[in-house]
Structure 1
């Protein structure tokens, strides 16, 4: 599970950094600190939330798939709990972000509802499908 968390975190941070380059924050905002980011959020348009959503969703997807794959190494059957644990861990981070930063309600509902547990399920399905393809 730890390897899945590390892989998912790497994907998450890479997309957050890429998003900041491709969709810069509004002029005059300071997004390097939590306080600055919280103050800037009301100025953000929908385009500023695309990469955070992708980072959360794809980070969870990759982390869950890696965790499930690693749990199935050594000939053991695929285990679902590491994928769900990664999803729950990242969901708790998403809830903490909403608690600390706030943000528009539409993004909170979309992000917490679709980026974490559904993506953990997709990561588990992906790992299961890849394992089946390797064994065929």
Structure 2
């Protein structure tokens, strides 16, 4: 398979797998720490309640964002034929853009936005890329 095509498919696979991990952890979080009287599928209700939530309600969203990015970057880097770190970082940038959009739509506390944007995406993608290079060395 052409290395460029394989790298593109690696990024797509990383994005999909990372998204599954992300949503799985966020869904698990709603089960572990349900938000009282709020349907997590109602974006308007979520946007209204987000600024008032205690820090415990942000643990699983952060874990979803960080571990989803990490796993997605690891998958992309491991599958890529060449430029493993670049593939991992592209996944990180995709998740970063998604994180910015979600943080705009569901404006939570400023502390969460700062921690999420600074720690959950690019650093996790970098770690995922490093792990991918390490486990795929010949």
Q: How far 1:84 sits from its partner (Å)?
A: 0.8
Indicate which of 38, 47, 58 corresponds to 1:38: 47
TM-score (norm 2): 0.88
Contact kept in structure 2, 1:19 and 1:51, CA below 8 Å = yes
Counterpart for residue 103 of structure 2: 98
Contact kept in structure 2, 1:63 and 1:86, CA below 8 Å = yes
1:44-55 aligned within 5 A: 44-55=53-64
1:66-105 aligned within 5 A: 66-72=75-81, 77-105=82-110
Corresponding residue pairs, total: 128
Q: How far 1:36 sits from its partner (Å)?
A: 1.1
SS at 2:40's partner residue?
Answer: coil
**Structure 1 runs not aligned, ≥5 long:** none
SS at 1:31's partner residue?
Answer: coil
Q: How far 1:78 sits from its partner (Å)?
A: 4.8
Contact kept in structure 2, 1:64 and 1:124, CA below 8 Å = yes
Q: How far 1:55 sits from its partner (Å)?
A: 0.2
Counterpart for residue 14 of structure 1: 24
User: Greater CA deviation, 77-86 or 110-119?
Assistant: 77-86
**1:110 and 2:119 are equivalent in the alignment:** no
Contact kept in structure 2, 1:31 and 1:40, CA below 8 Å = no
Contact kept in structure 2, 1:69 and 1:78, CA below 8 Å = no
Q: How far 1:79 sits from its partner (Å)?
A: 2.4
Q: How far 1:31 sits from its partner (Å)?
A: 2.4
**Structure 2 runs not aligned, ≥5 long:** 1-10
